[in-house]
Structure 1
Amino acid sequence: MYEDVERCVRAVRSKDARFDGWFFTAVLTTGIYCRPSCPVVPPKVRNMVFYPSAAAAQQAGFRACKRCRPDASPGSPLWNERADLVARAMRLIADGVVDTDGVPGLAARLGYSVRQIERQLRAELGAGPLALARAQRAQTARLLIETTTLPMAELALAAGFASIRAFNDTVQAVFALSPTELRRRAAHRKPTSAPGVLSLRLPFRAPLCPDNLFGHLAATAVPGVEEWRDGAYRRTLRLPHGPGLVELRPVPEYIDCRLTLSDLRDLAMAISRCRWLLDLDADPVAVDEQLAGDPVLAPYIAKNPGRRVPRTVDAEEFAVRAVLGQQVSTAAARTHAARLVTSHGEPVEDPHGGLTHLFPGPDALAEVDPATLAMPASRRRTFAVLAEALASGELDLGAGSDWAKARAQLDALPGFGPWTVETIAMRALGDPDAFIPSDLGIRAAAGALGLPAGAAALTAHAERWRPWRAYAVQYLWATGEHPINHLPAA
């Protein structure tokens, strides 16, 4: 979009927040770059230059605006909508792969050469993977500077910098302030609610309907791993350097996020996974405009616009839970998962609630004796085959996975029918066009709305919803009275 100068200028002049994260505006006379919705008076058109990423603006020598904080914009929705190489690379960079494994590790995950990755990212984003990771590192550093009292040397390591000098130089270059000055400016802000807890605000593009998003997560929560407490969804996180806890609460203009981490090096990944869980980088206006073209869905979209797809913080965990939930009620699926967690999950401490375990990882799941699971023999076999595929690395459902390949691999596993495959594609892989016409809730909604009842006929009707059929599923589910459609009582 950044190449469409006229459209970008209109967005900047109207301060349209819908385009935050789509592109960035650099101002030649001031040397700063902003998000489109920056509250300052827009510059003259001849002084505007547009960039596709914050990293590209930084590489061109521009520093971040102190008013609109463009580094904290919602991410581009393109990376969650697409399944091509650039989108997969951006999802992996957001998940911290460059910081942990370097650019060669990123290339290996994607199955391409370093040169190919560099070339494609530069062509579309104006910056290579190192610059994109550096921009993310700078944002992590700012969060830690403003929300913790860590000494700067410890903070630099936690943010992913190799040296205190690189940390100082990056913060100065990006924010035009030293780390000490940044902390001094933030000193008046309210401190975190408890020692060791990081309080953050997760931005999103309006509108956002929290009902089905948090309702679904709360209604399907696995005891010990997840809970709804005091108006917030809470859960444990499996992270590279140790377990974490997160508390997510919807408020009108942002998501209140409170993180407790074993190691602050996991901060960027934890934030990325929370954003993915809540689908916060979606473009709800584009989604709703497309779906509202169907007169059957239009009234429901007008009533509660901005529905997101509830996803997961751990794709492998979700795949296992999808198998446990085959052909049983939500309550039964939670019971199966809770037993698995109690027997094979890793214990954690939660001083502020009732979380007790991490969901078992792939290696632990592969060691589970299927005979101990209270399920039909066919489903026990499905569980065992899936656990082995995940533990061996044969099946990749991670942030940079190839959606088509993952679907084909899932479909080849015994016991994986269309419902299971598409449910995993929708909530674990994040495919915005995943569709589950055989789902009982979808069939009931279709019947009530006068839509075709058969899977084939409903799929044909749903062609007009593409590429947003996963969002259409949320609106169809919302026509029922299941608890997934409502925020739990406070």
Structure 2
Amino acid sequence: MHTDHDRCVRAVQSKDARFDGWFFTAVLTTRIYCRPSCPVVPPKVENMTFYPSAAAAQQAGFRACKRCRPDAAPGSPHWNQRADAVARAMRLIADGVVDRDGVPGLAARLGYSTRQIERQLRAELGAGPLALARAQRAQTARLLIETTALPMADIAFAAGFASVRAFNETVREVFALSPTELRGRAGRGPGPGAPGVLALRLPFRAPLCPDNLFGHLAATAVPGVEEWRDGAYRRTLRLPYGHGVAALRPRPDHIECRLSLTDLRDLAGAISRCRRLLDLDADPEAVDAALAADPGLSPLVRKAPGRRVPRTADADEFAVRAVLGQQVSTAAARTLAGRLAAAHGEPVDDPEGGLTRLFPAAPALTGLDPAALAMPATRRATLTRLIGALATGDLALDVGGDRDEARRRLAALPGVGPWTVEIVAMRALGDPDAFPATDLGVRRAARELGLPATPAALTRHSAAWRPWRAYAVQYLWATDDHPINYLPAD
């Protein structure tokens, strides 16, 4: 979008928050870059230039605005919507792959050479993977500086910097303040709560309907792994350097996020997982406008705009749970998943609540005795095949994976039908156009709305909803009187 100069100018002049994260405005006279909704008086048009990423603006010598904090804007919806190499790279960078494995590790995960990835990212985002990762490290550092009392040296390494000197130079260059000045400017110490708990605000594009989003997560919560407590959805997180516990509570203009981590180097990855779980980088205006054009869906969109797709913090976990949930009730699926977690999950300590373990990773389930699960023999065999494929890497469902290839490999597993493939694509792979046309709830809602109700006819009708059919599913499911569609009571 940043190449459409007139459209960007209009967004800046109207202070339109819908475009925050889509592009960044750099002011040639002040050498400052802002988000489109910056509250200061818009600069003269001739003094504006636009960049597709904060990293590109930083590389061009601009520093972040101290008023609107463009580094904290919601991420671009492009990276979750698209499935090409650039989008996959951006999801992996957000997950911390460059900090952990370098650019060669990123390229290897994508199946490209480092030169190809560099070229593609620079062409579209105006910055290479190192600069994009550096921008993320700067934002992580700022969060830790302003919300914790950690020593600056600890923050430097937790944010992924190789040295305190690099940390100091980057913070000063990006924010035009030293780390100590940033902390002083924040004017507060760490937020209230237990020691070691980070209190953060996760921004999103309005509107956001929390009902089905949190209702679904709470209603399907695996005992010991997830829970609804004191108005927040809480769950354990398996992370590259350790584990953590996240508590996510909906607020009118943000998601309140509390993180407890065994290793602070996992902060950026934990935030990325939480944002992905709640679909916070979505563009609800674009989604709802497309779906409301259908007379059948229009009343549902007007009634509760801004529905998100409840996704997952762990794609492998969700795939296992999807097979466990084939042709059984929500309660039965929870029970089966809870037993699996209790028997094979790694214990964790949760001083703030009742979470006891991580959901078991696929390698920990390879020795599972299928006979121990109260399921039909055919589904036990399907589960065993799925676990084997995930454990060996034959099936990759991570954020940088190829969605089309993952669909093909899932569908090739005996016992994995179209419903399971689409549910996994929607919630684990993050495909905004996934559409489980055979789902009974979807078909029942379609029939009640006067839409085609057979899978083939409904699939044909749904072509007008593309590329947002996963969101149409949320609106269709919401017509049912089921706990997944209601924000839980405290």
What's the TM-score once normalised by structure 2's chain length? Answer: 0.99
SS of alignment partner, residue 347 of structure 1? coil
What does residue range 257-296 of structure 1 map to in structure 2 within 5 Å? 257-296=257-296
Q: Distance in 1 between matches of 2:375 and 2:451?
A: 34
Q: 2:137 — aligned with what?
A: 137
Q: Distance in 2 between matches of 1:436 and 1:80?
A: 19
SS of alignment partner, residue 238 of structure 2? strand
Q: 2:429 — aligned with what?
A: 429
Q: 2:342 — aligned with what?
A: 342
Q: 1:248 — aligned with what?
A: 248
**Alpha-carbon displacement from aligned partner over 1:274-328 (angstroms, at most 9, x marks no partner):** 0000000000000000000000100110110000000000000000000000000
**Alpha-carbon displacement from aligned partner over 1:93-128 (angstroms, at most 9, x marks no partner):** 001100011000000000000000000000000000
Q: Distance in 2 between matches of 1:131 and 1:188?
A: 30
Q: Distance in 2 between matches of 1:160 and 1:369?
A: 41
**Contact 2:149–2:189 at 8 Å: present in 1 too?**
no
**Alpha-carbon displacement from aligned partner over 1:50-101 (angstroms, at most 9, x marks no partner):** 0000000000000000000000000000000000110010000001100011
What does residue range 184-203 of structure 1 map to in structure 2 within 5 Å? 184-188=184-188, 191-203=191-203
Q: Distance in 2 between matches of 1:164 and 1:278?
A: 34
SS of alignment partner, residue 422 of structure 2? helix
What does residue range 232-243 of structure 1 map to in structure 2 within 5 Å? 232-243=232-243
**Contact 1:25–1:33 at 8 Å: present in 2 too?**
yes
**Contact 2:344–2:364 at 8 Å: present in 1 too?**
yes
What does residue range 384-399 of structure 1 map to in structure 2 within 5 Å? 384-399=384-399
Q: 2:446 — aligned with what?
A: 446
Deviation at 1:190, TM superposition (A): 6.5
**Alpha-carbon displacement from aligned partner over 1:450-471 (angstroms, at most 9, x marks no partner):** 1111100010110110010000
Aligned pairs, number: 490
Q: 2:419 — aligned with what?
A: 419
What does residue range 64-463 of structure 1 map to in structure 2 within 5 Å? 64-188=64-188, 191-463=191-463
Q: Distance in 2 between matches of 1:465 and 1:385?
A: 34
Deviation at 1:446, TM superposition (A): 1.1
Q: Distance in 1 between matches of 2:238 and 2:112?
A: 28
Deviation at 1:368, TM superposition (A): 1.0
Q: Distance in 2 between matches of 1:278 and 1:313?
A: 9
Q: Distance in 2 between matches of 1:47 and 1:74?
A: 25
Please give the root-mean-square deviation of Cα atoms over the aligned residues, in Å.
0.7
Q: Distance in 1 between matches of 2:264 and 2:63?
A: 25
SS of alignment partner, residue 357 of structure 1? coil
**Contact 1:20–1:73 at 8 Å: present in 2 too?**
yes
Deviation at 1:352, TM superposition (A): 1.1
SS of alignment partner, residue 346 of structure 1? coil
Task: Give the letter aligned to residue 427 of structure 2.
Answer: R
Q: 2:17 — aligned with what?
A: 17
**Contact 1:309–1:427 at 8 Å: present in 2 too?**
yes
Residues 444 and 293 from structure 1, CA distance in 2 versus in 1: closer, same or farther, beyond 3 angstroms? same
Q: Distance in 2 between matches of 1:180 and 1:190?
A: 15
SS of alignment partner, residue 288 of structure 2? helix
Q: Distance in 2 between matches of 1:367 and 1:128?
A: 42
Q: Distance in 2 between matches of 1:434 and 1:190?
A: 41
Deviation at 1:448, TM superposition (A): 1.0
Q: Distance in 2 between matches of 1:137 and 1:236?
A: 23
Q: Distance in 2 between matches of 1:104 and 1:370?
A: 39
SS of alignment partner, residue 429 of structure 1? coil
Task: Give the letter aligned to residue 417 of structure 1.
Answer: G
Task: Give the letter aligned to residue 408 of structure 1.
Answer: R
Q: Distance in 1 between matches of 2:81 and 2:393?
A: 25
SS of alignment partner, residue 256 of structure 1? strand
Q: Distance in 2 between matches of 1:192 and 1:74?
A: 25
Deviation at 1:188, TM superposition (A): 2.9
**Alpha-carbon displacement from aligned partner over 1:365-418 (angstroms, at most 9, x marks no partner):** 112111211111111111111111111111110010101000000000011000
Please list every run of 5 or more consecutive structure 2 residues that lacks an aligned counterpart in the other structure: none
Task: Give the letter aligned to residue 446 of structure 2.
Answer: A
Task: Give the letter aligned to residue 424 of structure 2.
Answer: I
Q: Distance in 2 between matches of 1:444 and 1:8?
A: 43
Q: Distance in 2 between matches of 1:171 and 1:67?
A: 16
Q: Distance in 1 between matches of 2:79 and 2:188?
A: 35
Task: Give the letter aligned to residue 416 of structure 2.
Answer: F
Matched, 1:60 2:60: yes
Q: Distance in 2 between matches of 1:350 and 1:323?
A: 28
What's the TM-score once normalised by structure 1's chain length? Answer: 0.99
Q: Distance in 1 between matches of 2:415 and 2:29?
A: 62
**Contact 1:77–1:281 at 8 Å: present in 2 too?**
yes
Q: Distance in 1 between matches of 2:468 and 2:295?
A: 16
Task: Give the letter aligned to residue 285 of structure 1.
Answer: E
**Contact 2:425–2:431 at 8 Å: present in 1 too?**
yes
Q: Distance in 1 between matches of 2:99 and 2:370?
A: 37
Please list every run of 5 or more consecutive structure 1 residues that lacks an aligned counterpart in the other structure: none
SS of alignment partner, residue 296 of structure 2? coil
Q: 1:26 — aligned with what?
A: 26
Deviation at 1:191, TM superposition (A): 2.1
Deviation at 1:194, TM superposition (A): 1.9
SS of alignment partner, residue 352 of structure 1? coil
Task: Give the letter aligned to residue 367 of structure 2.
Answer: E
Deviation at 1:189, TM superposition (A): 5.9
SS of alignment partner, residue 409 of structure 1? helix
**Contact 2:148–2:189 at 8 Å: present in 1 too?**
no
Q: Distance in 2 between matches of 1:123 and 1:193?
A: 44
Q: Distance in 1 between matches of 2:159 and 2:441?
A: 44
Q: Distance in 2 between matches of 1:37 and 1:98?
A: 30
Deviation at 1:476, TM superposition (A): 0.2
Deviation at 1:487, TM superposition (A): 0.5
Q: Distance in 2 between matches of 1:487 and 1:289?
A: 24
Report sequence identity in percent. Answer: 78
What does residue range 29-48 of structure 1 map to in structure 2 within 5 Å? 29-48=29-48
Deviation at 1:187, TM superposition (A): 2.8
**Contact 1:192–1:198 at 8 Å: present in 2 too?**
no
Q: Distance in 2 between matches of 1:405 and 1:432?
A: 16
Task: Give the letter aligned to residue 172 of structure 2.
Answer: Q
**Contact 1:147–1:192 at 8 Å: present in 2 too?**
no
**Contact 1:362–1:387 at 8 Å: present in 2 too?**
yes
